Chain A
């Protein structure tokens, strides 16, 4: 499709195709989750669904998109033994 559009109108056609393609995809959702999440909409970005994930022991909250009853999985500092000499 992009080849045909590019033949007809150069990169204007490709930009048109890309724009419409993007709008269609952005409108879709799979099982209630928007297609481009977690990046668009931005508020779905969390520790657990990102390109760069935090280490397991740092993931303290569940994803917002799941709408869980208890969003906090673990305490703020779960590995207490790593804090040298501090009483918590």
Chain B
């Protein structure tokens, strides 16, 4: 297993995109549209701008810390104690993200295709794939992600173009949505949709060429934002302000409507296959990140056993008996505010304080 494999530009962009695509595959676009209704387009442009500004701030603040991620920055700021604290927080966050992905998608598969399977079996299959991929290493995972991303993007684009013909002026108006406060103030919590900002805090040391961090982050952010728009706009044909139903998986429902005459119907079966692939790749990457953070906090001698234990913990968490109301609460409330808290509050505070400390040290050195 190669410990020091560095990602190229294309691989890094592909990893960020697979993270975004996985958010689209889960029910996240529905939660965005549910909150703001037909004002989703304006709301997305608004939060896209805010997130882009945040991204530029992160890039600027990371300039003084070459080849460091948020853990190294917190070690610089507060020593090992702060590093361990932030590390545990990050591990908990990644475990939560992986848990939500796993349990949500397994629930979808269980409801739609595998109703006579026990849920444990579906979870076991995902964990097995993730475990084996992590034993093989990040090199295989990142190249697999490079392969999957074009196909996953293709499925999103096809869904968009076929739903676009049903789009009407009635679906996207009133353009502001329910009300100004709802779109611009309450809608601020939709910033959680750009979850990729969390990954940028950890990306720099993984890159082969650290100077390409700015280019990689801006390009991947732009493409992710476009993908999010391409998913949200057709959602408005199905669920606008006045809709009374909540789907189990909104992108799946959209893809069920794709038909080209008699030749192409029920293409959602093919898309599910692609999305299973994407979920495997994404979960493998998340477990890799968790392993990496654990290695930074604790001195680990045997990395293979680490993969076994993290996958085992994830399997154990996923087995906690949850029903759909728990999943809904975790995704809609807990996940939303944790992501916003981490990216907008904690990360920025840590980076700002670290920059101040560095500047102070540099001044002391000069004087």
Contacts and interface: CB of A to CB of B under 8 A. Distances in A.
Is chain B a partner of chain A in the same complex? yes
B122 A20 contact: no
Contacts of B136: 23-24, 27
B10 A23 contact: no
A43 B141 CA distance: 17
A25 B8 CA distance: 18
A20 B63 CA distance: 37
B125 A41 contact: no
Nearest to B141: A23
Contacts of B114: 10, 12
B273 A15 contact: yes
Given A12-B276, A20-B129, A40 B147 contact: yes
B133 to A, nearest CB: 5
A42 B140 contact: no
B139 A9 contact: no
B312 interface: no
Interface in A1-58: 9-13, 15-16, 18-20, 22-27, 34, 36, 40-43
Contacts of B8: 41-43
A27 B135 CA distance: 11
Interface string B127-150: 011001100110111011011000
Contact of B132 (A18, A20, A40, A42): A20
B277 A15 contact: yes
Contacts, number: 72
Given A9-B125, A36-B147, A43-B10, A27 B273 contact: no
Interface string B239-273: 00000000000000000000000000000000011
Given A23-B132, A26-B143, A42-B146, A12 B277 contact: no
A62 B272 CA distance: 41
Contact of A15 (B133, B147, B276): B276
Main secondary structure of the interface of B (DSSP, over half): helix
B180 interface: no
Nearest to A14: B273
Contacts of A11: 272-273, 276
A40 B14 CA distance: 11
B281 interface: yes
Contacts of A24: 136, 140
Given A12-B276, A15-B273, A22-B144, A42 B133 contact: no
A15 B128 CA distance: 12
Nearest to B134: A23
B147 A12 contact: no
A20 B277 CA distance: 10
By CB atoms of chain A within 10 A, which of B9, B144, B146 has the most?
B144
Interface in B8-49: 8-11
B280 interface: yes
A26 B128 contact: no
Given A23-B133, A27-B136, A15 B143 contact: no
Contacts of B125: 9, 12-13, 16
Nearest to B131: A20
A34 B143 contact: yes
Nearest to A18: B277
Contacts of A23: 132-133, 136, 140-141, 144, 284
B10 A19 contact: no
By CB atoms of chain A within 10 A, which of B9, B121, B129, B284 has the most?
B129
Contacts of B140: 22-27
A48 B110 CA distance: 47
A9 B281 CA distance: 19
Interface of A: 9-13, 15-16, 18-20, 22-27, 34, 36, 40-43
Interface of B: 8-11, 109, 113-114, 117, 121-122, 125, 128-129, 132-133, 136-137, 139-141, 143-144, 146-147, 272-273, 276-277, 280-281, 284
Given A12-B114, A22-B140, A25-B140, 4 more contacts: A15-B273, A19-B144, A19-B281, A26-B144
The 4 A-B residue pairs whose C-beta atoms are closest, nearest first, are A27-B140, A26-B143, A23-B140, A15-B276
